[in-house]
Structure 1
Amino acid sequence: MHKVSIALLCIIGVAVLGITTGMAGSEVASSSDETMCIPMGILTLEAPETIDAKRAAVDFPHSAHFEYACMTCHHQWTAEEPVQSCQTTGCHDLDTPPGPGNSDESILYFKNAFHKSCLGCHRRIKALNKKVAMTIGGSDNRVRPTGPTGCTRCHPK
Structure 2
Amino acid sequence: MYRFMTITLSLCALLFGASLAVAAPEVPGDLRLAPPETIKATKTPVDFSHARHGAAQVDCVTCHHTWDGASAVQSCATPGCHDQPGKKGANAFYTAFHSKGSDNSCLSCHKSLKKEGKAVPVGCSECHAK
What is the TM-score normalised by the length of structure 2?
0.72
Count of residues paired in the alignment: 112
> C-alpha separation between the residues in 2 aligned to 1:37 and 1:128?
32
> C-alpha separation between the residues in 2 aligned to 1:109 and 1:24?
47
| Range 23-32 or range 57-66, more displaced | 23-32
Give the conservation status (yes or no) of the 8 Å contact 2:81–2:91. Answer: yes
Q: Which has the higher helix share?
A: 1
> C-alpha separation between the residues in 2 aligned to 1:61 and 1:90?
24
1:45 matched to 2:28? The reply is: no
1:85 matched to 2:71? The reply is: no
Give every structure 1 segment of 4 or more consecutive aligned residues whose post-TM-superposition deviation is greater than 6 Å.
none
Aligned to 1:74: 64
Aligned to 2:52: 64
Give the conservation status (yes or no) of the 8 Å contact 2:36–2:49. Answer: yes
> C-alpha separation between the residues in 2 aligned to 1:150 and 1:97?
17
Aligned-residue offset at 1:89? 3.5
> C-alpha separation between the residues in 1 aligned to 2:63 and 2:119?
17
When the two chains are superposed, the root-mean-square deviation of aligned CA atoms in Å is 2.4
The one-character-per-residue Cα deviations of 1:6-51 (angstroms, maximum 9, x if unpaired) are xxxxxxxxx9xxx6x975653223332333332214110003xxxx
Aligned to 2:102: none
Aligned-residue offset at 1:94? 1.2
Aligned to 1:146: 119
Structure 2 unaligned regions, length at least 5 = 100-104
Structure 1 unaligned regions, length at least 5 = 1-14, 48-52, 99-104, 130-144
Aligned residue for 1:122, secondary structure, equals helix
> C-alpha separation between the residues in 1 aligned to 2:86 and 2:127?
21
Aligned residue for 1:27, secondary structure, equals helix
> C-alpha separation between the residues in 2 aligned to 1:89 and 1:71?
18
The one-character-per-residue Cα deviations of 1:61-94 (angstroms, maximum 9, x if unpaired) are 1110111111000001112221112212412111
Larger radius of gyration: 1
> Between the two proteins, what is the percent identity of the paired residues?
37
> C-alpha separation between the residues in 1 aligned to 2:85 and 2:115?
32
Q: Which has the higher contact order (CA 8 A, sep 6+)?
A: 1
What is the TM-score normalised by the length of structure 1?
0.61
* Mapping of residues 115-154 of structure 1, within 5 Å: 115-116=98-99, 117-129=105-117, 145-154=118-127
